[in-house]
Amino acid sequence: MTVLYVVLGLVGFFVITGVIAVWMFLHSETGQKIISTAGKSITLMQEATKAPGTPELRARGCTTALVIPFDKIAETFREFAPDMDREIDRRTLPGDGTMIMCQIATAEATAPALSCTDVARTYIDAVPQVPERFGVTVQRGNKEVCNGSYGRDGAFIAPLNMHKRQPQTDTPVEQGDR
């Protein structure tokens, strides 16, 4: 019985200590910045799902459509990391810092075969003020189909080369080709 009381006492001590540590962290300046940044990030992603052009992209076959403005993301994280401007290489951002993401939830053959050019043109037709350059990526299931940087006229400019991978083509890749 004594061993049980000792174990319960230790568990209680660690629970109380953990609760106090979490409370202190959440009330610290760093904790407040993290909570604020997380809240703003969630708001940005919600805005990205409701941005102009996303309803048309979903109607075209994108299960999830996002229009992500990287400048707003950088602004949000700048509060937490003030040196972020120096760390972001603007030359590596797609076009003017806008990224269009189309996720097709299933990898099945019945899913629509959308290319990045299809997504870019759908976005251009839906949005009155398209950035001069923007990035596009299409995923089917958990595999990337294509990616690229596009001009306001819908012309393919260059692959995105995210994560220092080999350049992607704009042609949709069928299941099993990768």
Phi (first) and psi of residue 27, to 5 degrees = -95, 0
Terminal alpha carbon distance of the chain: 61
17-61 pLDDT, tens digit per residue, is 999 998 888 888 878 887 877 888 888 888 888 999 999 999 998
Compare 125 and 158 and report the one with higher pLDDT: 125
Query: Is residue 67 scored above 60 in pLDDT?
Result: yes
Tokens 């959440």, located at residue: 26
Same domain, 7 and 57: no
| Crossing angle between the packed helical segments 29-50 and 70-78, to the nearest 10 degrees | 170
**Residues of the domain holding 28:** 1-50
Query: What pLDDT is stored for residue 158 in this prediction?
Result: 85
Taking alpha carbons only, the member of 112, 123, 177 closest to residue 148 is 123
Query: What pLDDT is stored for residue 167 in this prediction?
Result: 40
Same domain, 72 and 45: no
Compare 72 and 148 and report the one with higher pLDDT: 148
Compare 141 and 83 and report the one with higher pLDDT: 141
144-175 pLDDT, tens digit per residue, is 889 988 988 989 988 886 554 444 444 443 33
Same domain, 63 and 33: no
Same domain, 46 and 58: no
Query: What pLDDT is stored for residue 91 in this prediction?
Result: 58
Mean pLDDT across 70-99? 65
Query: What pLDDT is stored for residue 110 in this prediction?
Result: 60
Domain boundary (19, 34, 50) is at: 50
Same domain, 167 and 100: yes
Contact 91/133 with Cβ under 8 angstroms?
no
Same domain, 28 and 42: yes
Query: Is residue 6 scored above 80 in pLDDT?
Result: yes
